[in-house]
Amino acid sequence: MPQPRPVYEFNSIIVRTPSQSVVNGLRADDRGNPTFEGVKAEHDAYIGAMREAGVKVTVLPALEAFPDSIFVEDPALVFTEGAILLRPGAATRVNETKEIEPALREMFDTVLDLPGTGYADGGDVLTTRESVMIGLSARTDKAGAEALRSCLDRLGRKSEIVATPEGVLHFKTDCSLLDDETVLSTNRLARSGVFEKFRQVIIPEGEEAAANALRVNDVVMVGADFPRTIEMLDKAGYKVVPLKTTEIGKIDAGLSCMSLRWFNCGKGV
């Protein structure tokens, strides 16, 4: 029998050009506004790294009315089997779902709407070989997580609801998948026991923001501002691609939230 495709194998992604208004993006910890030029440069480098990793990049136009719309992972989820339109937990982002919907309906045969009234952000969702993990947070409530589970079930995906540490914006703020058996995690999230079925690589103290890395095909993209994490992963045998996240980090963002990633088996390729 053929081996199942690794969950980090992608050939298609969607990104959105940052708007001039991105400088007013949401942030829990105010470290000053990013510059538009800085965000654009980091986003351009991100797109370049994705193409280098072997994926087709679809670039959506900027949305000036939505400062955080560069972070396309929060209003939707995508899989080979189809897409799910989410309901972001921040009031200023709810209507981003309507903006991304036409592109998804064009690219996917199956597009599901999140039922009910709960909310769920894609930043709280980690797809692993065993299941799709949905972290409860300030942006994803129990009703939204349960509604998302019903959609995942319709796509034939197993799922589970887990806890996000207090004070952490999104579940994936503190973790990322390195391969099908290994998770990169902060110590505070690893202590919860949520990754007991995985090999765990713990982020060096003081570089917690590096936990939002991104495995795409043969490479692991990591924030360039985290040298100890980069060295650790390099020594562990991973092919690391450092990417600047200094400016997007000022608006509570990391690498995973800037794209929707999937393996396209036919439509649109």
3-state helix, strand, coil in the chain (%, to 5): 30, 25, 45
Does the domain at residues 12-262 carry the CATH identifier 3.20.20.70? no
Query: Is 257 a known active-site residue?
Result: yes
SS3 258: helix
Q: How far apart are CA 173 and CA 210, in angstroms?
A: 9
List b or e across 162-188, with b for residues whose CB sees 16 or more CB atoms inside 10 angstroms: bebbeebbbbbbbbbbbebebbbbbee
Q: How far apart are CA 142 and CA 96, in angstroms?
A: 21
**Residue of 43, 151, 170, 175 with catalytic role:** 170
Q: What is the Cα 187 distance to its own chain's centre?
A: 20
Query: Is 151 a known active-site residue?
Result: no
What distances in angstroms separate CA 217 from CA 6, 144, 169, 260, one per listed residue?
A: 8, 30, 27, 14
pLDDT of residue 3: 67
pLDDT of residue 123: 97
pLDDT of residue 2: 58
pLDDT of residue 26: 92
Which residues of the chain fall short of a pLDDT of 50? 268-269
This model's pTM is above 0.85: yes
Q: How far apart are CA 35 and CA 32, in angstroms?
A: 9
Query: Which residues on neighbouring strands pair with residue 79, listed in sequence order?
Result: 82
**Residue of 43, 151, 175, 257 with catalytic role:** 257
pLDDT of residue 268: 41
